[in-house]
A and B are shown apart, each in its own frame.
Chain A
Amino acid sequence: MDSPEQKITKTVSREDASKESMANSRHVIGIHFCGPTPLVWRADELKSARELGIIGTLVGSLARQPRQNTRLGRPLELLPEEGRLLADMGRAAVIPDSTNEDPEVNPEQVEQYHAGLENSFQEQGAMVLADRKTTLLRVMTEKHNEDSGSQEDSDGAVRDRLEALEHGFSFPRTAMAVQLCTARAGLSHCPEVRRFLAADWPTPRDERSETRFRVFRDLRRQGFYLTSAGKFGGDYLVYPGDPLRFHAYFIVVCISMDESMPLCDVLAIARLGSNVKKTVLLCSSGESQEDDREEVVYTSLQWSGMV
């Protein structure tokens, strides 16, 4: 492992950072709980999280093609460890659920909504009309270039056709394009407001969650990217770089320092690792003897043969 952290920062940092994305990186990411599951909804927050090395999993339908499972869209589901790490770093805040407030209709908002809809309708109508006019003009000038009729006649004809178009034009309401918002509108991006509203991160319930979190934090600190690994029989999959581009190196299995693991379990996980060409890491967290700090101990399993 020659300083993967340096390499990682090289690949991620960009020189063409626009002002908006610079501002984004200072945003506080809002985490919304759906039951016990932490979710992130806004696309800019997903980006900020990824820049901090938090990958998560997309679990919603993709807007462009909702009826397929290969690529999913927002929301982004976070591992509890991911959310906790972001909260600890001060880069994310838990936004409490506000669905039970405001049980009555808010007439102001309704009026605003309808006004916005009407405005959009008018503008879209104008744009459609303009678009049709330009198309008509283009077609007619092409035709004019082909035949060599007199200039004045063609101009008159064009004017007549344009007028006919305006008179006969109708933009029905059903043809209007409407947006179905993904994220909830309204909450401001201001970090101070976010922090004000923020709730505490739910504390871990047991030793196992604590071990998992410590292992996660330590590996993240070393620059690795982590995702969940239930299908591989482990806790995390460890990537040297962004999972979009790289294969995973390790399967992490978190066990507590005092726990003894039966031999058949060790064999099973080692077999699995060798079948999928990844190294298995057994990780435990405990107190270091030397300087009383927490440290994480790693043991790797490699299947080797004796010839």
Chain B
Amino acid sequence: MADQNKTSAKVEFGNELLNPSELFEARTRSHKIPVRGQKDFIPTGADQQRDRLQQSLDEHWNLVSEERVERLGNLVKAVWIPSDMIVELQSPAGKFWQTMGFSAHGKQCLHPEEALYLMECGNLQVFYQDLPLSIQEGYERFLYSKTMSIQHYQVFGHLKRLGYVVNRFDPSSVPSQYERQLNLPQSRDRSGRLPKRKHSHSPTSRHTGTQEGPTSKRMEEEKDCNREEEDKNPDSLPDLSAPDIDEIQTASHVDPTTSTEGGQGRSWWSKEGSPEPDSELPGQPQSSPRWDFSSIPFPDLGSRRWLPSSLTSPDPCLLPGAVGSVGACDVAPWLQRLNLREVRMSRREWEREQDRDRYRRDIKQDREVRRCRNWAEYQELQERRIQRSRRDRPAHLWEGPVTPLHDPAQVTSTGELLDKISVIKSTRLLEGASSLKGSEEWRICFNIYQPDTVAEFKKSAPGKPYSRMCVCSFDGPVPDLWTLKLLAFQSGDVPVTYAVVDHGDISFYSFKDFQIPTDVSF
């Protein structure tokens, strides 16, 4: 049943200003809101219905006509400054300071919507020209701009009353995608200086692929760093042309000192190999990174035709400089680790192999390929072959300006084929969004943080918001794809919610971006 205030059973409207005795009475006011009863469907004109309606109406007017009465000690005093559109506090802020307000030139200030909300909650008394502002004056003075209209305030108030922390949106505070990738710690001060990069002695890497000598040497012996750098100077080769087959290259800067060190050390080929005394190193001052592969033997241990018993020591100039010379390699223990047994196939497997081989052409047996002397000729042969195969294709399809999308003779997978014939390509919401320019009509207004974070909320480091809000109305246009892309991009990785205000009623909509999974198994 209704919790009626006994002193005013009949609602009196007269003057809205309360006299001191009414103010005094207000201390013992109830703070409960009566529950609304069930509704009827058909008006019957019965007395009971009429009485219930009257009761509901009386309760309604009781609640609506009640004025706000507060203890003076509980009110924070503030002043409205129209030129800056902010409210400046004159007495210390209360608990609301944890989530609302900002500091400006030494004073605590509030945005107009925050001040109006606090006025409605009965926490703040705002003065203008030495007189206190009523709620009506607050609405009329604070909400006349386009950035903070009454619709924006309705959304703000609605969310604040639910307990969310709501701030104004600042586009410059959104980290760019690159910053997010780097996972940079968020700092308010965006003009922080980067730490000075220490001067590193890393060598300028020139053609490291061919200059294995110097780099690996450096890695192993840092103490010789300086000496190496001195030696390197005459070595520099700015341009690398195609390997000249005739020249013999050497890695030059191998010091006699290092070579002796390397000579003492290791033998890579046997466990107790004795290194042979190395021959004189051809100390060519110039090194050009060209190898004569015809003169370098690469042993083929797997070949059945030629099984060496031991491998001779390779030329030390082919090895990394620090290694020096190594002894001959005994092949036997290594051969034991290779599987050199002949494959014995059953008759059926053998027949299957034969069948396969019938259609497979060994490229080494191909006479035309053998006739090619170099890579360029081989590519020309391939071209000719493709042309020949093309001649088999019907001219009316392939010779015209419009040719079929796909040649069945070409091997391709199901996925690729589907991609080729697809007319619509799937796209993501943020594709092409970075090139969109801003709009006057559609803006993100607020950042929203969840209510359960209020205890640890810090205004200086609020963290990532739960959502960002854009306010619009049912009378205006529906947000189109361009708007969705623009706002999603502006918001970074925080989802955008659209609050639609319709004469006091607020609905929230959000758009999710997701991919339809493609099921292609091939």
Contact = CB atoms under 8 A, between A and B. Distances in A.
Tell me if chain B binds chain A.
yes
Interface of A: 4, 7-8, 10-11, 14, 18, 20-21, 24, 32, 34-35, 37, 39, 41-44, 46-47, 50, 57-75, 77, 79, 97, 99, 102, 104-106, 109-110, 113, 119-120, 123-124, 127-128, 172-185, 228, 230-231, 240-242, 244-247
Interface string B187-226: 0000000000000000000000000000000000000000
Contact of A228 (B68, B119, B135, B502): B502
3 closest A-B pairs (Cβ-Cβ)?
A: A174-B73, A230-B502, A57-B504
B70 A58 contact: no
A97 to B, nearest CB: 6
Contacts of A42: 16
Given A24-B13, A59-B154, A99-B141, A180 B125 contact: yes
Given A60-B135, A123-B21, A230-B500, A182 B67 contact: yes
B402 interface: no
8 contacts: A21-B13, A34-B144, A60-B135, A63-B67, A64-B30, A174-B71, A181-B135, A183-B135
Contacts of A185: 16-17, 134
B10 interface: yes
B139 interface: yes
A228 to B, nearest CB: 4
Interface string B124-166: 0100011110111101110110000111001001100111000
Contacts of A104: 129
A180 B119 contact: yes
Contacts of B36: 244
Given A20-B13, A71-B33, A79-B503, A178 B75 contact: yes
B122 A35 contact: no
A21 B122 CA distance: 29
Interface in B496-519: 500, 502-505, 507
Contacts, number: 241
A77 B14 CA distance: 22
B161 A228 contact: no
Nearest to A242: B53
Nearest to B44: A7
A62 B32 CA distance: 11
B474 interface: yes
A180 B136 contact: no
A72 B120 CA distance: 11
Interface stretch (B58-66, B340-348, B455-463): B58-66
Contacts of B162: 69
A86 B133 CA distance: 28
Contacts of A68: 33, 161
Contacts of A128: 24
Contact of B121 (A61, A70, A97): A61
B69 A110 contact: no
A178 B43 contact: no
Contacts of A39: 139
Interface residues of B, number: 80
B161 A57 contact: no
Given A44-B13, A120-B23, A37 B53 contact: no
A177 B33 CA distance: 22
Contacts of A67: 121, 161, 163
B415 to A, nearest CB: 36
Contacts of A74: 64, 135
Contacts of A242: 53, 56-57
Interface string B291-315: 0000000000000000000000000
Nearest to B121: A66
Contacts of B30: 64
Given A47-B13, A177-B26, A177-B69, A184 B134 contact: yes
Given A69-B158, A230-B502, A244-B53, A124 B20 contact: yes
A115 B86 CA distance: 29
Interface string B14-39: 10111011011011011101001001
A172 B42 CA distance: 56
Given A61-B120, A67-B121, 6 more contacts: A60-B120, A63-B66, A65-B31, A179-B18, A182-B136, A242-B57
B14 to A, nearest CB: 6
Contacts of A124: 20, 23-24
B136 A41 contact: yes
Contacts of A62: 33, 63-64
A57 B157 contact: no
A43 B65 contact: yes
A177 B13 contact: no
B382 interface: no
Contacts of B136: 32, 41, 75, 181-184
B54 interface: yes
B50 A182 contact: no
B507 A230 contact: yes
B464 interface: no
Interface string B156-186: 0110011100000000000000000000000
A34 B136 CA distance: 10
A77 B157 CA distance: 15
A132 B149 CA distance: 48
Contacts of B63: 62, 64, 71, 73
A157 B200 CA distance: 95
Contacts of A228: 502-505
A57 B12 CA distance: 22
A63 B56 contact: no
A57 B505 contact: yes
A241 to B, nearest CB: 4
B40 A247 contact: yes
B41 interface: yes
Interface in B408-457: none
Contacts of B29: 64
A35 to B, nearest CB: 5
B284 interface: no
B131 A110 contact: yes
